[in-house]
Chain A
Amino acid sequence: MSPEPQRKLSSSAGVAPAAAPSYRPATCTPPGAWRGAGYGQPFGATERTDTWWLMPLAQALGLGLLGLYATWAAFQGAHYEFGNYLSPFYSPLLKPAWWPISPAFLILWIPAGFRGTCYYYRKAYYRAFFADPSACAVGEPRKGYRGEVGFPWAIQNLHRYFMYFASILLVFLWWDVIRAFIFTDPDGSHYLAIGGGTLAILASNALLTMYSLSCHSLRHLVGGKLDCFSCAVAGGPRHGAWSRLSALNAHHMGYAWWSLFAVCFADFYVRMCSMGVFHDPMFVTFRHLFDYAPKISHFLL
């Protein structure tokens, strides 16, 4: 069957407007003209019979407890190092003389901003802490609502910048992972080993990396912003990268939670070792690896 004649005339079928058109409002009715029964329902009002309150409660507890722990750990300013282990809350370790409080605060604004503006965490805390809404089809506590249109919530639009900074942090965090494999004997010689802290820091950084790679903003910048992959420069590789990041993006919520748990656990583990509460077990040791390449360990440490 031959195609319709007008579909063949691609160049003359339509022309994009030369100037930006003046748009009419998307909606055309005065406020309240299409009001339904859901408007003004009191907080918590719903006909839902399931345990709709369980998820926001669990999210509030999870985010609240982990957030409180992270804040407490950041304020401590001590017990963030143990041998070759460095807590991820304090990495990279910056201790300028002019800085009066814990060095963690020089770093933590980046992951805090990255997670605070994250599209998944937005859903979680709007539901858990602001009840905006606490669950679907459930009444809300406030009538006034501006969404993310004005200050301060319009700041959420800068998520990609926190993502850029967090990506730089990841480089330092992976450096810490390498250092977590290299231990030092009392005589000053170095050896390769895997201890409990090595695994904690490795797991924390692996999950942080997956969380960062599954970011919605990264997915957009890599290829999502294109309308036509096959028309763009490097469209094939960008489509491939976008497809893979999209597959990761489907699990963004899981990576968000697991990475948050893991990074808090890594700090907790290092802290407990540093305080002498935990004894760091050594699972595997490669004693003579650096005998052949001593300069490597010297460079790394």
Chain B
Amino acid sequence: MSAGAVAGAIAGATAGAAAAAAGARVKAEATTAKREAVLRVYRGDASGGQEVEYQVPVETGMVVLDAIHWIQAHQAPDLAVRWNCKAAKCGSCSAEVNGKPALMCKSRMERFAPGEPIVVRPMKTFPIIRDLVTDVSWNFEVNQRIPPFQPRAGAEWKWQQHDVDRAQEFRKCIECFLCQDVCHVLRSHELKHQFAGPRFLVRIAGLEMHPIDGVDRTPFLKDSAGIGFCNITKCCTEVCPEDIHITDNAIIPLKERVVDRFYDPVQMVWRAITGK
């Protein structure tokens, strides 16, 4: 095949692909242009509330947060919602969409079947302020109590990439608190006075696995952060919008470190003999 023929074929294929894409776009717009979604949004505050139904026109590429904004703009300007980036990076628009903790800006409207009501409620683990906004400040109080990073005496500020790979996964956390919301220890059993929750176990894991950190947080993990309350049901991992393997890579390794210190009889005897 000559160069000209190749170029022609490529141009033809490109034009064909563009036409197909345009056709698909027109088709998608035609199917969604007149479509309306039914949103049932929780309206209320600490004294009580109820779900209110709204009809929202659906456009291509729309997410639940767009629908909430449409409701704010056209039907309920007093609807309270916390949001910021609309790009799944600020962690502000956490809510429960059809009962599942999720970022509203990552919940695409196409995911729901036509006519399927979309129920949007505030996170159930934290006290409600109004509508979709909850008071998550408990998390910031817990965060302040975690022993911060402190380098080992004489540590050199230089390390290998493979030494920090693990901790870098934990730095992806956007603090949306969806993991805290879905954790049944905090949500159903209300053990906020005993258990720090998956978000902060992730933070502690990032500190504990840092190659030059010198603080020993193992007693803190057991006695104060309450890691023993976690029964590894992995809901935190399921809802994490950053795809952090919270249970496998943070909580279980920390549990194993607690076992090293407090439950492994051989290691306890070894430490008693060697003094290490």
Contacts and interface: CB of A to CB of B under 8 A. Distances in A.
Interface of A: 7-8, 10-11, 13-17, 20-21, 23-41, 46-50, 119, 122-123, 126-127, 132-133, 136-137, 139-140, 143, 145-149, 153-154, 157-160, 216-217, 220-221, 224-225, 227-231, 239, 249-250
Interface residues of A, dominant DSSP: loop
Given A36-B128, A47-B121, A229-B160, A217 B187 contact: no
A41 B96 CA distance: 15
B176 interface: no
Contact of A149 (B96, B146, B159, B229): B229
B98 A48 contact: yes
Contacts of B229: 145-149
A227 B155 CA distance: 13
B226 interface: yes
Given A147-B185, A160-B259, A225-B256, A136 B231 contact: no
Interface residues of B, number: 87
B111 to A, nearest CB: 11
A26 B139 CA distance: 10
A47 B99 contact: yes
A154 B219 contact: no
A126 B153 CA distance: 43
A153 B230 CA distance: 11
Contacts of A27: 138, 141-142, 145, 192-196
A202 B149 CA distance: 49
Contacts of A228: 159, 163, 211-212
Given A23-B224, A35-B127, 18 more contacts: A7-B157, A10-B155, A16-B151, A17-B150, A27-B193, A29-B141, A31-B193, A36-B125, A36-B187, A37-B124, A41-B124, A47-B119, A136-B182, A136-B239, A160-B264, A220-B252, A221-B256, A227-B163
A122 B232 contact: yes
B187 A39 contact: yes
A123 B256 contact: no
Nearest to B215: A16
- Most B-side CB within 10 Å, residue of A7, A34, A153, A231: A34
Interface string B97-110: 01111000000000
Interface string B202-241: 0000001111111110011001111011111111001100
B123 interface: yes
Contact of A31 (B101, B147, B151, B190): B190
27 contacts: A10-B151, A10-B156, A10-B158, A11-B153, A14-B153, A15-B214, A16-B153, A16-B215, A23-B223, A26-B220, A27-B192, A28-B145, A29-B193, A37-B122, A39-B187, A123-B233, A132-B231, A136-B238, A146-B229, A148-B231, A216-B256, A217-B256, A224-B253, A227-B209, A228-B163, A229-B162, A230-B211
B190 A26 contact: no
Contact of B200 (A26, A149, A221, A231): A26
A36 B154 contact: no
Nearest to A28: B141
B168 to A, nearest CB: 14
Interface string B117-138: 0010111111110000011001
B256 A34 contact: no
A34 B151 contact: no
Interface in B162-194: 162-163, 182, 184-185, 187-194
B35 interface: no
Contacts of B235: 133, 136-137
A27 B208 CA distance: 19
B243 interface: no
A228 B152 CA distance: 12
A127 B262 CA distance: 27
Given A37-B124, A48-B100, A158 B253 contact: no
Contacts of B86: none
| Nearest 7 CB-CB pairings of A with B | A16-B214, A47-B99, A48-B99, A38-B124, A147-B229, A136-B235, A228-B211
A263 B39 CA distance: 50
A179 to B, nearest CB: 33
B15 to A, nearest CB: 42
Nearest to A236: B162
B260 interface: yes
Contact of B263 (A8, A158, A231): A158
A16 B223 CA distance: 20
A263 B157 CA distance: 50
A224 B256 contact: yes
Contacts of B155: 10-11, 13-14
A173 B228 CA distance: 34
B77 to A, nearest CB: 25
